[in-house]
Structure 1
Amino acid sequence: MRVLVNKQFCVDFSCSEKDLAENLFVTEPSSENSRYKARAKGNIVCYDGKVYVRTENEKLTKKLEETYANKKADWFLEMDNLKILSEELTSFDLEIADINPFFIPIREKFTSTVLDERFVFIEKEDILTFKEDKRITEAFCYLEKDPDQIGLGYYEDGELKAICGANWNGKYTWEIGIEILDAQFESRGIATELVHRLTSKIIAENPEILIVYSTSFSHIKSMNVAINAGFKLGWTEISFKQK
C-alpha cells in the first residue's frame, strides 16, 4: 500500500516521491486529481513519522516550515501544538476545518470471498437507481466530480438493510462509505462484513487503486469497523478553511 499512498501524495502535494522522504512544505493550489480533503485551502498530513504541509500562501508555508521543519509527526496532534498551529493560521485568516484519521487496507487480510444471496454487488451503472432512497447518505455521493464506482448491499427478505460503497476520491484513490439502514441490524458485524467484502473485490479487480476509509476521531464504532474489516491507520490529516 505504501507505493499507492506515495503516488497519491505526490499528486496532493505536487511533489516527487523523493520529496516524501522528509518533512515537506509546498505552496500549491489543489488539483482536480487531489483527494477530497487535499482540496482544502491547505492541509497537513502526518504519515510515517513525517509532516507534509501544503498551503496556497507562500508566506504561510514559510512560517509553518520555520515552526515545523524538524517536527516529528508523532505528537503533532497534541493540544499544545494545535493551539500553536491555530494561532499561525489565524494570522492568515484561516482556521482548522477538520482533523481526520485515514485507514488503509492490510492487503494480506483481503482475499476473494464467495457471497451468499444476502450480499449483492451494485455495479457503477446501477448506483443512480438508489438515489431515491433517502436513507442512503454515506455509501453513495451521486456526484459527477467524485463519481461512485461500486457498491455492495445487504438484503434480508428482499429488503435492503445495509449498504457499502466506494467513490472516486483522487487520481489513485477510492473512498469507502458504509451505513446500516435498519437499526435492528446494528452491532451484528454486518458493516464490518460489507467493508471487508467490498474491499476484497476492489483489490482483486483494481490493484492500482488506493482504498481509504475515513471517519471522525470520536466515532469509535466507525473506526472499529475499519479495524475489524482488515484496515489499519494509515495517516492523520488536518485541513484548513477560510475564516
Structure 2
Amino acid sequence: MNILVLLAGVADIRFPLHPLSLADGRIEEGGNARRLLSPFDEAALELALKLRDARPDTRIEVLVLGGANAENLLRAVAAFRPDALRRLDLFPACPWDASMTAQQIATLLATQGTAPDLLLIGREFGDLDEGSLPVRLASQLGHPLFALAQHAEWAGEQVRLLRERGAREEWLVLEAPLLASVTNDKRNKLRHPLMKNVMEAKRMSFDAVGAPAPASTTLALSELMPARASERGGDCRLLAGTPAQQAKELLVWLTEQGVVA
C-alpha cells in the first residue's frame, strides 16, 4: 500500500497575524510568519500512520506546501518518520485558485510517475482554501473522492474508510486508487512523536519539488470580487411574521391552490 499525504499548514493563532502584501496579484509573507499543521492536516497524517502501524510494509510519502515557515512544518512532519518527505513549491502559488492548484499538483504527480493507492488530504488545504481543492484534485486525477473521512482501517488485505452522517455510518472499501479528504475526529487525533525522532528531525535537510503552471491561467488575488447578489424571481415568496403567522399564511395559500387536507 502506497499512501500520499498532502499537507499545507495554517497560520498559528497563538501569535499576531504576520504582515501580508500583494505582488503581481500574489501573496507575499514576511520571513517571521508562523505556521502549524491544521487539525485537518493532522487527521490526514494520523490516518496514514495508523495504517502503517497495522501493516509495516505500507509506504507513506508526504508533500508539505512550501512558503513561509515551511522548514519548521517539514521538521514537525519528519518526526513521525514518513518514508519520503519533500517540500511542494507551486509556481505561482495561488492557493485561493483551487482549479489551478489542483492542476499543478495533478500534473506533478503524473510527471513524476507518482501513483499512490490512497491520497489523503485535509478537507481544507491551508488558510485560503474553502474545501473545493480535494474535489477538483480528484477530478484532475480521475480518482473517486471519499469526502470527510474520519477513520481508516485494514479489512483483510484491503483498506476501508469511514465517515458518519448523523446516526448512520458509511464505509467504503478501497478497491482502486482513491482520494480521501479527511476531517478531524477524536479517532484521528495526531499522536505525539518520540522525542528522539524530534531531535533527529532538527538535523535533517529536505528536498523540494516544483509544480509550475502557465502564467496565463493565473487568477490574481486582486481580480477576486464578491459574488454578485441575485434578485429573487418567479413565484417565490418569503413568509414573514412569527411561526404561527407563517403557518396561517401558508395554510391560506394552500387552500387557494385547491389543496385539501
TM-score range, shorter chain: under 0.3
Q: Which has the larger radius of gyration?
A: 2
Output the TM-score relative to the length of structure 1. 0.23
